Amino acid sequence: MQKLVAYCKNRGFVFPGSEIYGGLANTWDYGPLGVELKNNIKKAWWDYFVTRDKNSYGVDCAILMNPRVWEASGHVSSFSDPKMDCRNCKTRHRADNLISEYNNKHGIVMSVDTMTKEEMANYIKEKQIKCPNCGKCDFTEIKNFNLMFQTKRGVTEDASDTIYLRPETCQGEYINFINVQRTMRAKIPFGIGQIGKSFRNEITPGNFVFRTIEFEQMEYQLFCKPGEDEKFFNLYKQKVMDFYKSLGLPAEKLKFKDHEKLAFYAKAATDIIFNFPFGWEELNGIHNRTNYDLTRHQEFSGKNLMYLDPITNEKFIPYIIEFSVGADRLFLTLIANAYTEEKLDDGETRVVLKILPKLAPIKVAVLPLQKNLSEKADEIFKTLQQNFNCDYDESGSIGKRYRRQDEIGTPCCVTIDFDTLEDNCVTVRDRDTMKQERVNVEELINYLKRKIYNK
Ligand code: ATP
């Protein structure tokens, strides 16, 4: 992980948040390459689940919502984690996470999800699980800690109301269910997708952008008829898994993990877990939420959220199948999977980001072999720029320039040499195979589109 964090910082993917002020723990800023990669990830998700599905619609809802939303959803009363403080060094910890880490380390297989606070406290004492910061086993009582960030609205303190930064995006989809259904004349089953920021006052954030206090979620809610929910739950389990494989993640690093303890309203829940450098952890959640969310919002808002089936005239509150992933967590997953160090025949090590070409932050690098070829190179660069995110680099040896592009995952390097002036051909070098091909400039855009987008 340390290597990945350093790589991301040095190559302009992710910088520590507020760095010149000494930072703000567990906040991160995406740099020029990071923002391109993250945008490409979000676009891939949106294309796959929203654009290319005729029964899908997108929304972009407000982060700040009427606080009643969070009362209805149950977040005000119970969106909490079991926290405890180390009496010795005063650091705060999540009891369930400390137990899971201990169990993973000692090869103990047991479910932490189903443990009560008392059981967790006893287990920590019995196993003498230590504070990761100071090594002592002396913790305060375990208490529930609400993860929602609060803020105040209004110009004066007195008139102000407490409002919350949303801890998940999906409530925006629920409360707009009727708006979307009516305006789009949508018929069940249909889905609503959203990508946006969420905030959680996590007790133990960490592992780089895996768990942060501010992050982006990509969430999708399928509204379906009760009775068809199990079919759609299984269908979407597969569809979501296929999506990750389509991004180049290997099957052996992905697994389903069913939840042992379900929320009282949920009928089924499973995570897609990924083998991160720090072990198997949740990448994506998939839930059968029954009709709980819309029932609660109907109750709390007093508005009718029933769906009228135009064929059978039946009225019902739809069931919801949800899947959800953090854009930042998927970013980390893809970088961790793609970062490769290759030993070359000459004994040197080549760092390559073997990311799917369509996700690469820069698609094509234009490299004139010598500075006095820059006029032709610039002409080619300007044409390519209309079609791809391109880089132009004329400094250093060609070998060094290839390595720089390999490191950031650029799938194709286009080299302009003296022959280009004669035959109007360039050399295109492939990032993964390092093979080079001569391509006529007239053909170049189509050739690169095939290589990058398979089209
Ligand atoms: P975890 O158990 O890892 O805390 P969760 O079960 O609370 O996650 P959900 O509420 O189901 O997560 O959120 C859906 C997805 O949002 C997660 O699968 C994850 O990809 C992402 N996510 C959740 N919390 C964070 C966070 N603090 N930082 C980054 N991504 C997050």
Closest atom, ligand 1, to C-alpha of 217: 16
Identify whether residues 155 and 287 lie together within a single domain. yes
| Enclosing domain of residue 327 | 2-79+147-334
**Tell me, what's the pLDDT at 225?**
96
Q: Are 99 and 126 in contact (CB under 8 A)?
A: no
**Is residue 345 a part of any domain in this protein?**
no
CA 97–ligand 1 middle distance (angstroms): 14
- Among protein residues, the one whose CA lies closest to atom 25 of ligand 1: 211
Peptide bond into 189 cis (omega under 30): yes
What's the pLDDT at 244? 98
Let me know whether 159 and 243 are in one domain: yes
Residues 297 and 370 in one domain: no
439 lies in the same domain as 313: no
Q: Using most ligand atoms within 8 A of CB, pick from 111, 113, 211, 214 the residue to mutate for ligand 1.
A: 211
Ligand 1 close to Cβ of residue 288 (< 6 A): no
pLDDT in tens, 176-190: 999 999 999 999 999
Binding site membership of 212 for ligand 1 (Cβ less than 6 Å): yes
User: Same domain, yes or no, for 424 and 302?
Assistant: no
**pTM, to two decimals:** 0.91
Tell me, using a 6 A CB cutoff, whether residue 26 lines ligand 1.
Answer: no
Domain finish residue from 106, 122, 145: 145
The CATH number of whichever domain residue 435 belongs to comes to: 3.40.50.800
Count CB atoms within 10 A of the CB of residue 454. 8
Residue that the structure tokens 């999906």 belong to? 170
Task: Evaluate whether residue 404 is within a structural domain.
Answer: yes
pLDDT of 68 higher than 70: yes
- The yes-or-no verdict on residue 436 having pLDDT over 70 is yes
| Whether 192 contacts 50, CB under 8 Å | no
Q: Is 216 in the pocket of ligand 1 (CB under 6 A)?
A: no
In a domain? residue 312? yes
pLDDT in tens, 255-311: 999 998 888 889 999 999 999 999 999 999 999 999 999 999 999 999 999 999 999
Q: Are 358 and 406 in contact (CB under 8 A)?
A: no
Give per-residue pLDDT as tens, 416-425: 999 998 999 9
Q: Distance (Å, rounded) from C-alpha 31 to C-alpha 335?
A: 14
Asked if 336 and 363 count as a contact pair (C-beta separation under 8 A), the reply is no
SS3 269: strand
- Residues 323, 269 contacting (CB under 8 angstroms): no
Does position 387 have pLDDT exceeding 70, yes or no? yes
**Position 173 pLDDT exceeds 70:** yes
Q: Is the CB of 357 under 6 A from ligand 1?
A: no
Predicted pLDDT of residue 157: 67
User: Residue 365, CB half-sphere, CA atoms under 13 Å: how many?
Assistant: 27
Average pLDDT over residues 320-338: 98
Mean pLDDT score of the chain: 94
CB of 206 closer than 6 angstroms to any ligand 1 atom = no
| Helix or strand holding residue 450 (H, E) | helix 444-453
The structure tokens 């299984």 sit at 234
CA distance 359 to 197: 21
Local structure of residue 64 (DSSP, 8 states): B
Q: Which of 145, 162, 178 is the last residue of a domain?
A: 145
Most informative mutation of 26, 81, 272, 329 for ligand 1 (most atoms within 8 A of CB): 329
Q: What CATH number is given to the structural domain containing 117?
A: 3.30.40.230
For 154, the 3-state DSSP assignment is coil
198 ligand 1 Cβ < 6 A = no
Does 356 fall in a domain? no
Q: Is there an atom of ligand 1 within 6 Å of 378 CB?
A: no
Residue that terminates a domain, selected from 122, 145, 168:
145
- What is the Å distance from ligand 1's center to 326 Cα? 6
Same domain as 291, residue 261 = yes
pLDDT at 373 > cutoff 80: yes
389 phi/psi in degrees, rounded to 5: -80, 115
Residues 308 and 178 grouped into a single domain: yes
Contacts of 428 (CB under 8 A, 6+ apart): 412, 413, 414, 415, 436, 437, 438, 439, 444, 447, 448, 451
Report which ligand 1 atom has the smallest distance to the Cα of 271. 18
Q: Would you say 358 and 40 are in contact if contact means Cβ atoms under 8 Å apart?
A: yes
Do 125 and 187 belong together in one domain?
A: no
Residue 325 Cα to ligand 1 midpoint, Å, equals 7
Q: Give the pLDDT of residue 21.
A: 96
Residue 204 has pLDDT above 80, yes or no: no
Claim to verify: residue 70 and residue 87 sit in the same structural domain? no
Domains in the chain: how many in total?
3
- Give me the residues paired with residue 223 across strands: 190, 320
Q: Is 141 inside any structural domain? A: yes
- Which helix (H) or strand (E) element contains residue 77? helix 75-78
- Check whether 159 has a pLDDT greater than 60: no
